[in-house]
Amino acid sequence: MAFSYWESKQWISDRDLLIVGGGIVGLSAALRAKTLRPDWEISVIERHPFSGGGSTRNAGFACFGSATELQEDRQSLGDKAALELVRKRWEGLQLLRETLGDEAIGYQSCGSVELFLKGFDSSIQAPTDDELKDINRWLQPVTGEPSTFKRTLAEGFIEMNAPAIADCIASPLEGSIDTGKMLGSLIQKVRNAGITIINGCHVKGVRSNPNPQVCIAESDAEGTWFDAKNVLVATNAFAKQLAPNLDVTSAPNHVMVTEPIPGLGLQPTVHLDAGYVYARSIGERLLIGGGRHWGLQNESVIQKRLLQTLHRIWPIALDIPISHHWVGWLGVGSDRMPIHSILSPGIHAAVRLGGMGVAMGMQFGNEAADRILKSPAK
Ligand SMILES: Cc1cc2nc3c(=O)[nH]c(=O)nc-3n(C[C@H](O)[C@H](O)[C@H](O)COP(=O)(O)OP(=O)(O)OC[C@H]3O[C@@H](n4cnc5c(N)ncnc54)[C@H](O)[C@@H]3O)c2cc1C
């Protein structure tokens, strides 16, 4: 169905900035642009009723990488670029906390542990003491701490199954957030700033003709092309649909949450297998997710393996049913650096946030807005 004259004029046509994707990156970019250019008309087009991408389907780790994950980054990117990446996560988290406030995002300073389980089918080895020293030395310019990671005894975590844990690396610097509260308060802030968020519309295409245009449709209906002065594609895992040449692949990730476990206290966030598996507590519930590196296609097999891992760490969860199970899509590629790209005149993309986009998302969105404002198409 075509949009009415009023709908088009009021909310869609001729925006100074039209953003595709209402996740943390798109919303942060909108807020930054409006702060710097209060005179700009800005709309965010989001196809899902809430958000529907990683920003409402993540695990809520306020993290910057476990020791083995950072070792992988150093190997694939080199020390300098990997440090730049971890800085983006670290500074992005500070920015998120400062902008929205710890209470509004449900921030908890719970610390983290990276666990190496006995008899767990994994190729990832715990770092030696010398390797740990080297990681800490490399990381100090970012965290400001001489010992970001410390080898520790699993016995210190009373609800965890210490005899099953071969090795344990802890960091006091990691935290967790309430993902729903975080995005809810960001949406509120964006609306309060006078930015329009349009849910339930799909963007079918973007082009420069020669000025930027965006094809928008209600659900699966045929789209209409609208002019915009500047466009930002912030669709992360779904970027290929609008930008087929970008190195972004959509990777599904399963997440499960248990029913409450009476008396369960706050747990540190847990990393396994270089961050491919993760677990945490949410109030009296436990969450576990990930496992995409196992290469399993069958959903129930992935679920079963995640549950076995959960029970191995926390035997108290053995008879507790799962209350929620969902899939979220990560935007990944040949390395873990996010991509900012100009697709065609006036059309930018800020995508591929990987598994730590909560940490990086706000700062990355701000940077995308800054680039657009530095040389706006109009
Ligand atoms: C299961 C899971 C667990 C995670 N856990 C963590 C974690 O603990 N900590 C962390 O830091 N990061 C985590 N992440 C990563 C993080 O959630 C993402 O990197 C981040 O949310 C990406 O934000 P974004 O705004 O780039 O993309 P998204 O949040 O994916 O937003 C993109 C939006 O674009 C919309 N969209 C797509 N195509 C169109 C279209 N054609 N028209 C209109 N709208 C469109 C989508 O509906 C979506 O809402 C996790 C991700 C997943 C999937």
Q: Which residue range forms the structural domain that includes residue 90?
A: 61-177+249-332
Q: Beta 269-272 vs 249-258: how paired, if at all?
A: unpaired
C-alpha 214/C-alpha 118 separation (Å) is 53
Ligand 1 centroid – CA 56 distance (Å): 7
- Same-domain status, 143 and 74: yes
- Same-domain status, 228 and 309: no
- Same-domain status, 88 and 188: no
- Same-domain status, 154 and 42: no
Q: What is the CATH number of the domain that holds 275?
A: 3.30.9.10
Average pLDDT score over the chain: 95
C-alpha 359/C-alpha 91 separation (Å) is 8
- Same-domain status, 234 and 354: yes
Q: State the CB neighbour count (10 A cutoff) for residue 4.
A: 9
Q: What is the CATH number of the domain that holds 234?
A: 3.50.50.60
- For range 105-131, the mean pLDDT: 92
Tell me: pLDDT of 265 over 80: yes
pLDDT band at residue 305 under the 50/70/90 scheme? very high
Contact call for residues 77 and 86 (beta carbons, < 8 A): no
pLDDT value, residue 222: 84
Ligand 1 centroid – CA 21 distance (Å): 9
From 235, 269, 356, the mutation candidate for ligand 1 (largest count of ligand atoms within 8 A of CB) is 235
Please tell me which residue, 272 or 295, carries the higher pLDDT value. Answer: 272
- Same-domain status, 93 and 242: no
- Same-domain status, 25 and 44: yes
Query: Of all protein residues, whose CA lies closest to atom 32 belonging to ligand 1?
Result: 235
- For range 133-158, the mean pLDDT: 95
Residues flanking ligand 1, CB < 6 Å: 20-26, 45-48, 51-55, 57-61, 63, 202-203, 234-238, 241, 253, 255, 289, 328-330, 353-359, 361
- Same-domain status, 313 and 347: no
Ligand 1 centroid – CA 53 distance (Å): 4
From 353, 360, 364, 367, the mutation candidate for ligand 1 (largest count of ligand atoms within 8 A of CB) is 353
Least confident of 277-286, 292-301, 349-358, 367-376: 292-301
The minimum-distance atom of ligand 1 relative to the CA of 50 is 49
At residue 175's C-alpha, the angle toward residues 26 and 113, to 5°, is 125
The minimum-distance atom of ligand 1 relative to the CA of 330 is 53
Phi, psi of 202 (to 5 degrees): -100, 140
Give pTM, 2 decimals.
Answer: 0.97
C-alpha 33/C-alpha 154 separation (Å) is 46
pLDDT of 196-215, one tens digit each?
Answer: 999 999 999 999 999 999 99
Tell me: pLDDT of 38 over 80: yes
- For range 344-371, the mean pLDDT: 97
Least confident of 119-128, 266-275, 305-314: 119-128
pLDDT value, residue 295: 87
C-alpha 245/C-alpha 349 separation (Å) is 11
Number of domains in the chain: 2
pLDDT value, residue 88: 96
pLDDT value, residue 40: 98
Ligand 1 centroid – CA 236 distance (Å): 6
Q: Give the strand order in the sheet containing 322-332.
A: 150-151, 165-171, 112-117, 269-272, 277-282, 285-290, 249-258, 322-332
- Same-domain status, 109 and 257: yes
Tell me: pLDDT of 124 over 90: no
- Same-domain status, 171 and 278: yes
- Same-domain status, 173 and 186: no
Ligand 1 centroid – CA 330 distance (Å): 7
Ligand 1 centroid – CA 242 distance (Å): 16
C-alpha 210/C-alpha 221 separation (Å) is 25
Q: Give the strand order in the sheet containing 201-208.
A: 201-208, 212-218, 224-227
- Same-domain status, 193 and 267: no
Give the CB-side neighbour count of residue 211, counting CA atoms within 13 A: 15
> What angle, rounded to 10 degrees, do the helices at 79-100 and 179-192 form?
70
